[in-house]
Amino acid sequence: MGKKLEGKIAVVTGGSAGIGLGIAKAFAADGAQVFITGRRQEELDKAVAQIGHGATGIQADASNLADLDRLYDAIKAKHGRIDVLALNAGFFEFMNIGEITEEHFDKTYNTNVKGLLFAFQKALPLLPKGASVILTGSIAGFRGIPAMSVYSSTKAAIRSLVRAWIIETKGRGIRINVLNPGHTSTPGFNNLLPAEAHAGVIATIPLDRLGTPEDHGKAALFLASDDSAYVTGIELDVDGGAAQY
C-alpha cells in the first residue's frame, strides 16, 4: 500500500514541539518531504532528529513577516511548491479580564492571527492545484474558557478567515480546513497546568483522557491527503468529545 503523501512537499509552522511535531512526524512517516519552523534552533534540531525521513528545520518566528519570506524563498528555491501547508504556530497564556495587557494582546494576535494570515497569503503563489492547507484552531474558538478570552478570540478569527478564503480561492483547486485540538498533553499545556490539575480536565472529556500530538497528526494526515479530497472549509474537532460536554 502506497504512502499517502509520497512525493509531497509539506510545511509545518511551529513544528518543533507538541501538536506541530506530531503533525510533522505523521506527514514524514507517510512519505512527505517535511519542513518545520520554530523560533529556537536547538529545539528545531532536536525535532528534526525525531522526525527523521530527511526533514528540514528552518528557524523562523511565525509572527515575523521577514522570517516568513525567508522560509518561502528557501522552499521555492529548493522545490518550487508547497503541497501541504500546516499553519500550526500559536501562542497562549492565561490572563483574566481586568488584567489583560497590551503586550499579552499583541503577542497573541501577532502570532495566532497576523502571522497565520500572512503565512497563508505569502504561500499562495507556491500552492499548486490539489494543495491542502490546514490551520490549527482550537475548541476554545467556540467555548468559553476562563482566563483565555484573547486566545479564544484568535481561534474564532481563524474560523472566520477560512470561510472567506475558500470562496476567494475558488477555482485554484486548493482545500483549506481547520483542525481543532481539545485538551492535549504537550509541553505548553503541562507548563500552564500542573499535573495535579489534569484529573479535573480529564473529567470533562467523554473519552476520559487527554489528547496526544499523535492523535492530531493522524487527523492532519487525513486533511492533508486525498482521503479528504472533497473536504474543504470544515472544522475537525479532535477533542475526545470535550466540546460536546
In sequence order, the β-bridge partners of residue 38 are 59
- Locate 25 and state its grid cell: 512526524
CB 93 within 8 A of CB 74: no
User: 225, 218, 196, 198: which is closest to 209 by C-alpha?
Assistant: 198
Say how many residues make up the chain: 245
CB 64 within 8 A of CB 118: no
Active site residue 72: no
**Cβ-based neighbour number of residue 68 at 10 Å:** 22
CB 186 within 8 A of CB 19: yes
Which residue out of 72, 109, 151, 230 is catalytically annotated? 151
Q: Give the end-to-end CA distance of the chain in Å, rounded to a whole number.
A: 38
Give the separation between CA 152 and CA 116, rounded to whole angstroms.
15
Residue 58's Cβ-side half-sphere holds a number of Cα atoms within 13 Å equal to 18
Give the separation between CA 146 and CA 220, rounded to whole angstroms.
28
User: 10, 22, 31: which is closest to 181 by C-alpha?
Assistant: 22
Q: Which residues are catalytic?
A: 151
